[in-house]
Amino acid sequence: MRKELIALLVIVAVVACSSSRNADNSIPVASFQQDVTSELALLMRTMAAHADSVKAALARDGKLPPKPAIKTLFTATPTQGMHIDPITYPTFGKDYLAKLDALYKAPKAERPQAYNALVQSCANCHGTHCPGPLMRIRKMYVAVEE
Ligand code: HEC
């Protein structure tokens, strides 16, 4: 049982953010003693699920899901050891919130572009914080007719 649990924790750690940190397979033992999912990671899952549902809505009828209240982007506790840059993180975070507002204000015909701008704001922050999800984020864009 313990072995399976540790294997699961290793998988979770690798799938989440730490792809670069774990590249040399030297996962610090201490990382097993913390809660697996931080407040910030949980919030990110909500943000990612929301973006996925917007993408699905655009493919369907363009009717957006309810706008999520993202209240704790600047206060949620990150995974232990995760560096949150005091300058770039708030800048990228405000940009995400601005793109979220813009999406809900955009006329229907412009929602695909507004959605792509939202996904770009995810990618921008993940370029400097937590690169693990970047592959997934790059697949979230929608094709836009010029
Ligand atoms: C302002 C910076 C920032 C923005 C904007 C941002 N992220 Fe994140 N994201 C992070 C950080 C930092 C973490 C690591 C959280 C932790 O481990 O505590 C993270 C973690 C994640 C995770 C992993 C969660 C887990 O289960 O461990 C996913 C997936 C993710 N983000 C997707 C997204 C998507 C999709 C968007 C846009 C809708 C987005 N992020 C916007 C900084 C950001």
Query: What local confidence, expressed as pLDDT, does residue 20 receive?
Result: 45
62: left (phi over 0), alpha (psi -120 to 50) or beta: left
Tell me the H-state helices in 1-143.
2-15, 39-60, 88-105, 111-128, 134-138
How much is the pTM? Answer: 0.84
CA of 137 to the centre of ligand 1 (A): 10
Question: Which residues form ligand 1's pocket by a CB distance below 6 Å?
Answer: 16-17, 38, 40-41, 44-45, 47-48, 51, 78-79, 82, 84, 89, 92-93, 96, 121-122, 125-126, 129-130, 133, 137
Distances from the Cα of 39 to the Cαs of 72, 75, 78, 92, in angstroms?
A: 9, 9, 6, 18
Atom of ligand 1 nearest to the CA of 121: 5
Query: What local confidence, expressed as pLDDT, does residue 145 receive?
Result: 76
Checking if the pLDDT of 66 tops 60, the result is yes
CB 22 within 8 A of CB 14: yes
Q: Give residue 93's pLDDT band: very low, low, confident or very high (50, 70, 90).
A: very high
CA of 41 to the centre of ligand 1 (A): 6
pLDDT in tens, 67-89: 999 999 999 999 999 999 999 99
CB 74 within 8 A of CB 68: no
Distances from the Cα of 28 to the Cαs of 11, 16, 34, in angstroms?
A: 14, 15, 11
CA of 24 to the centre of ligand 1 (A): 23
| pLDDT greater at residue 98 or residue 27 | 98
CA of 44 to the centre of ligand 1 (A): 5
- What residues contact 28, with CB distance under 8 A and at least 6 apart? 81
pLDDT in tens, 6-60: 554 444 444 576 554 444 455 555 555 555 799 999 999 999 999 999 999 999 9
